[in-house]
């Protein structure tokens, strides 16, 4: 793979990159057409050492020439024009940038860079290249959270908000589908440990509603993109407050309570002002706090989406620890989502529970042996997940996660427990390694 270093002047905040950016090893950092969304993102890219393929140098030069032509027509000074010039080889041995190569680069992207995003295949391609799991799923989700943060905290910065949010949504969907259980494990653990609660919570809820919507057979597939976008932006009007509340020990102050009550409609109004014109997306955000038990049929379409988000929001909130409230068990979270405000089974809540299962990845459980474990993957049976024991039957932490086959007598899951009962935190990368590949049998 022939690579050309890219000077720092070629990267501009708020501008789309004309070709795929790679590190010195050729691993994909940012896909062609993606925005450099903030100065922090630009600096992070530069720290990795930005390169492009020789095959892309001509495309880059064309884009640069177009930029300079525009500046010339605008009577921009020659000094400013000189500062954006990039000296790249005019010709060199070329390696075509195929979708498969880009996906392979995305799969191996390192932990420090922005999200690895495989560019779309050419219009003439017979079929899209298969998505491959990133080499470091933890870093990949953290990178997506880094991209999501300015979209949720400073939505007016950068322009073209709907397109940037939709691109984030599609990249998150690709990452989710590369390994659903591993994604749920990573999101559950990050949401319970990171300071950026609001951003990770939004990504987690968006993943869950996507899976839950698949359990509602009468829902058209084209409802799912606005559903996910609404989940990502449901708390747009109170992102900062949500982070504050996750660290707050006392109850809501009067001003905070008013903001919480008003944020659904305020968020929808803010999205509309940012250029969002998708009626389902806006209605789902505006209605996602409506507490109305009963079947989904008969409700306006946007309110159906809002109800599913509301149930997933309840579910994840019960699983997420806060400063003044410990996380509950997966069983308690499932009960809270499944039972509506009237105490009866809720259709949207049932879809969430069906999608996540009895013991979702990331939840804590007690085994029949007395060991305490963390669920890594759901298993072939609802009551037999793949788990890693972290605390021995004596009550002492184990040095390494020990994978257990819960189908074996004596190692069955006895009950879901609150995460605080584990009393130990294992490095997430070690849990990901222990999780193995989908379909791999349990050990131990």
Position 148 scores a pLDDT of: 93
In this predicted structure, the answer to whether residue 324 has a pLDDT above a threshold of 70 is: no
The fraction of the chain above a pLDDT of 70, given in percent, is 77
In order, the DSSP letters of 377-425 are E--SSTT--EEEEEE-TTSPEEEEEEEEETTSTT-SEEEEE-GGGG---
Query: Is the backbone of residue 160 left (phi > 0), alpha (psi -120 to 50) or beta?
Result: left
| 403 φ/ψ angles, rounded to the nearest 5 degrees | -70, 130
Long-range contact list for 246-255, CB < 8 A, 24+ apart? 246/197, 246/198, 246/320, 246/322, 246/323, 247/195, 247/322, 247/323, 248/322, 248/323, 248/324, 249/323, 249/324, 250/324
Q: Tokens for 22?
A: 């790679």
Q: Note if the pTM is more than 0.85.
A: no
In order, the DSSP letters of 101-146 are HHHHHHHT--TTSSP--PPPPPTT-SSPPPP---S-HHHHHHHHHH
| 8 DSSP 8-state letter | G
How high is the mean pLDDT of the chain?
A: 80
In order, the DSSP letters of 184-196 are HHHHHHHHTT-S-
Residue that wins the pLDDT comparison between 259 and 353: 353
CA-to-CA dists, residue 294 to 211, 282, 345, 353, angstroms:
21, 22, 8, 16
> What's the whole-number mean pLDDT along residues 330-334?
95
Using DSSP, state whether 27 is helix, strand or coil. coil
Q: What is the pLDDT of residues 378-408, one digit of tens each?
A: 987 888 999 999 999 999 999 899 999 999 9
> What's the whole-number mean pLDDT along residues 178-191?
94
Q: Which residue has the tokens 């922090």?
A: 40
The fraction of the chain above a pLDDT of 90, given in percent, is 49
Q: What is the pLDDT of residues 224-281, one digit of tens each?
A: 999 999 999 999 988 777 677 766 677 777 887 888 788 899 999 999 999 999 999 9
Position 63 scores a pLDDT of: 53
Integer Cα distance of 396 and 375 in angstroms: 19
Q: What is the pLDDT of residues 13-53, one digit of tens each?
A: 887 777 788 888 778 888 777 788 888 888 888 888 888 87
In this predicted structure, the answer to whether residue 338 has a pLDDT above a threshold of 90 is: yes
Q: Tokens for 323?
A: 């400063």
In this predicted structure, the answer to whether residue 299 has a pLDDT above a threshold of 60 is: yes
Using DSSP, state whether 322 is helix, strand or coil. strand
In this predicted structure, the answer to whether residue 415 has a pLDDT above a threshold of 90 is: yes
Position 412 scores a pLDDT of: 95
Position 101 scores a pLDDT of: 32
Residue that wins the pLDDT comparison between 106 and 378: 378
């Amino acid at each position: 793979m022939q690579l050309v270093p890219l000077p720092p002047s070629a990267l501009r905040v708020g501008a789309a990159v004309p070709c795929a950016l790679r590190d010195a090893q050729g691993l994909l950092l940012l896909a062609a057409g993606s925005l450099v969304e903030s100065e922090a993102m630009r600096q992070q890219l530069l720290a990795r050492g930005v390169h492009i393929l020789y095959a892309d140098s001509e495309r880059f030069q064309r884009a640069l020439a177009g930029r300079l032509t525009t500046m010339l027509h605008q009577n921009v000074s020659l000094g400013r024009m000189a500062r954006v010039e990039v000296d790249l080889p005019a010709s060199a041995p070329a390696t075509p940038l195929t979708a498969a190569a880009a996906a392979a680069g995305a799969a191996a992207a390192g932990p420090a860079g922005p999200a690895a995003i495989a560019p779309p295949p050419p219009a003439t391609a017979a079929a899209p290249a298969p998505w491959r799991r990133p080499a470091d799923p933890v870093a990949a989700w953290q990178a997506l959270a880094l991209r999501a943060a300015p979209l949720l905290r400073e939505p007016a910065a950068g322009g073209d908000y709907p397109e940037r949010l939709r691109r984030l949504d599609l990249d998150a969907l690709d990452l989710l589908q590369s390994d659903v259980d591993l994604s749920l494990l990573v999101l559950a653990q990050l949401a319970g440990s990171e300071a950026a609660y609001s951003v990770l919570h939004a990504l987690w809820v968006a993943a869950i509603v996507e899976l839950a919507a698949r359990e509602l057979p009468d829902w058209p597939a084209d409802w799912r993109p606005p559903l996910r976008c609404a989940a990502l932006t449901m708390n747009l009007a109170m992102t900062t407050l949500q982070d504050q509340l996750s660290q707050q020990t006392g109850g809501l102050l009067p001003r905070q309570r008013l903001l919480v009550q008003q944020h659904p409609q305020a968020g929808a109004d803010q999205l509309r002002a940012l250029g969002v014109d998708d009626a389902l997306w806006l209605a789902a955000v505006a209605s996602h706090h409506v507490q109305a038990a009963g079947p989904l049929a008969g409700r306006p379409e946007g309110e159906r989406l809002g109800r599913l988000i509301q149930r997933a929001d309840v579910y994840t909130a019960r699983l997420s620890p806060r400063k003044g409230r410990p996380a509950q068990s997966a069983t308690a979270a499932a009960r809270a989502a499944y039972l509506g405000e009237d105490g009866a089974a809720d259709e949207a809540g049932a879809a969430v529970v069906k999608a996540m299962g009895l013991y979702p990845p990331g939840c804590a459980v007690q085994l029949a042996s007395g060991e305490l474990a963390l669920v890594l993957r759901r298993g072939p049976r609802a009551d037999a997940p793949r788990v890693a024991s972290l605390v021995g039957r004596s009550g002492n932490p184990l040095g390494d996660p020990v994978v257990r086959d819960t189908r074996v007598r004596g190692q069955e899951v006895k009950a879901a427990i609150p995460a605080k009962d584990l009393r130990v935190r294992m490095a997430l990368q070690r849990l990901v390694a222990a999780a193995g590949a989908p379909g791999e049998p349990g050990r131990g």
